[in-house]
């Protein structure tokens, strides 16, 4: 299958590198070779070894009948959303790592993909390398998920660990995450909790079917967290983590939130450190399940994008049974009932 890669930044370059380096394994996993025909980026790559593949005008790829799939890794809502829409309208599959587009427009783009008989997959948009969205959509499709507690932002988790172990300032630790390619282009999205808020809305939509606008959920980031807060938690045998939550309440309502919490040592999220993410699910009749892996970084995230590419190539010609979310802010409730707050304090921890 011939594909176009859209965006040659941190993740896009990781996808290109992996597709070339692991071409044989990808072909074996996908059932046929995956060939990059275009890499679309507005910057100048005229001295890059792959210079012949670079284009600056996405319409060349969008109008090329040979291109069957577009891997969108531009980041940001526009023009990524507009290009995705064009690609789907032109009958091309799209895979993405772009949580801003999935959180804002996922429902609409899924419907468009279904109408055009193509697929829109977004595994890399939440949980980095962890195959959590396909697990929810596939292995847990008939299970009832009642609660999700997650560490969904690698940058803030890395910063909190560096502040704990090295006693360095948040600004110094943030600089390290930028050097390692973990932080967002606008790192305020990490620090403020906005990135984790988008990701918990994506996970909740996958688990509960309703996509809620991330900007309406209660969200506190780590701006106010000090080395003293972290030391105090350590003294009490706890650890400060930025926790994103989605709780299904009686009557089908959903509570969503992001806030720093002092996590107890008995909770599996306690030991999730550095750039790692974890998603702790509560599943009816099954209890807790935890999924763990690197939440940011070029190659781990590229792995999730490539898994989506292989899924599409392997199932080419099959009728898609992908789930379509509905946008529904009316299911959202900002506050948790007292009994759930009490249970949370016992099993997870309390807000810092």
Binding footprint of ligand HSE on the chain (CB under 6 A)? 128, 153-155, 182-184, 190, 195, 295-296
Among 292, 264, 298, smallest CA distance to 279 is for 292
Strands 349-351 and 254-264: antiparallel
For the bound state, the minimum distance from the C-beta of residue 153 to ligand HSE, rounded and expressed in Å, comes to: 4
Closer CB to ligand HSE, residue 61 or residue 244? Answer: 244
Closer CB to ligand HSE, residue 293 or residue 349? Answer: 293
For the bound state, the minimum distance from the C-beta of residue 29 to ligand HSE, rounded and expressed in Å, comes to: 23
The span from the CA of 206 to the CA of 341, in Å, is 24
Active site residue 199: yes
Residue nearest to ligand HSE (CB): 155
Other beta carbons within 10 Å of 141: 10
For the bound state, the minimum distance from the C-beta of residue 139 to ligand HSE, rounded and expressed in Å, comes to: 23
Closer CB to ligand HSE, residue 28 or residue 186? Answer: 186
* Helix (H) or strand (E) segment spanning residue 287: strand 287-294
Closer CB to ligand HSE, residue 185 or residue 346? Answer: 185
The span from the CA of 170 to the CA of 37, in Å, is 42
Other beta carbons within 10 Å of 72: 27
Strands 326-327 and 276-283: unpaired
For the bound state, the minimum distance from the C-beta of residue 99 to ligand HSE, rounded and expressed in Å, comes to: 6
Cis preceding-peptide flag for 253 (omega within 30 of 0): no
Spatial contact of 348 and 241, defined as CB atoms under 8 Å apart: no
Annotated catalytic residue within 199, 241, 248, 294: 199
Would you name the residues annotated as active-site residues? 199
């Amino acid at each position: 299958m011939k594909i176009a890669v859209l965006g040659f930044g941190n993740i896009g370059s990781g996808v290109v590198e992996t597709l070339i380096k692991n071409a044989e394994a990808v072909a074996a996993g996908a059932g046929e070779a995956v060939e990059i025909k275009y890499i679309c980026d507005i910057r100048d790559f005229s001295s890059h070894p792959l210079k012949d593949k670079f284009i600056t005008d996405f319409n060349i790829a969008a109008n090329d009948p040979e291109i069957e799939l577009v891997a969108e890794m531009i980041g940001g809502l526009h023009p990524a959303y507009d290009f995705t829409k064009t690609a789907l309208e032109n009958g091309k599959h799209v895979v993405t790592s772009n949580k801003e587009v999935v959180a804002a427009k996922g429902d609409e783009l899924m419907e468009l993909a279904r109408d055009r008989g193509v697929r829109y997959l977004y595994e890399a948009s939440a949980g980095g390398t962890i195959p959590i969205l396909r697990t929810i959509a596939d292995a847990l499709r008939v299970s009832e998920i009642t609660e999700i507690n997650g560490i969904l932002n690698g940058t803030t988790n890395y910063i909190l660990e560096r502040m704990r172990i090295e006693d360095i300032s948040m600004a110094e630790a943030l600089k390290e995450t930028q050097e390692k390619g973990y932080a967002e282009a606008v790192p305020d999205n990490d620090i403020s909790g906005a990135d984790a808020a988008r990701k918990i809305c994506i996970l909740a939509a996958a688990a509960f079917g309703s996509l809620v606008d991330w900007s309406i959920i209660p969200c506190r980031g780590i701006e106010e967290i000090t080395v003293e807060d972290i030391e105090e938690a350590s003294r009490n045998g706890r650890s400060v983590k930025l926790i994103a939550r989605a709780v299904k309440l009686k009557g089908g309502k959903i509570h969503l939130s992001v806030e720093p919490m002092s996590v107890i040592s008995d909770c599996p999220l306690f030991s999730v450190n550095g750039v790692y993410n974890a998603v702790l699910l509560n599943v009816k009749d099954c209890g807790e399940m935890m999924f763990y892996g690197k939440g940011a970084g070029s190659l781990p995230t590229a792995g999730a994008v490539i898994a989506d590419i292989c899924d599409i190539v392997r199932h080419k010609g099959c009728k898609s049974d992908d789930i379509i979310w509905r946008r529904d802010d009316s299911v959202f409730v900002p506050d948790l009932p007292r009994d759930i707050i009490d249970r949370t304090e016992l099993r997870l921890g309390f807000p810092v």
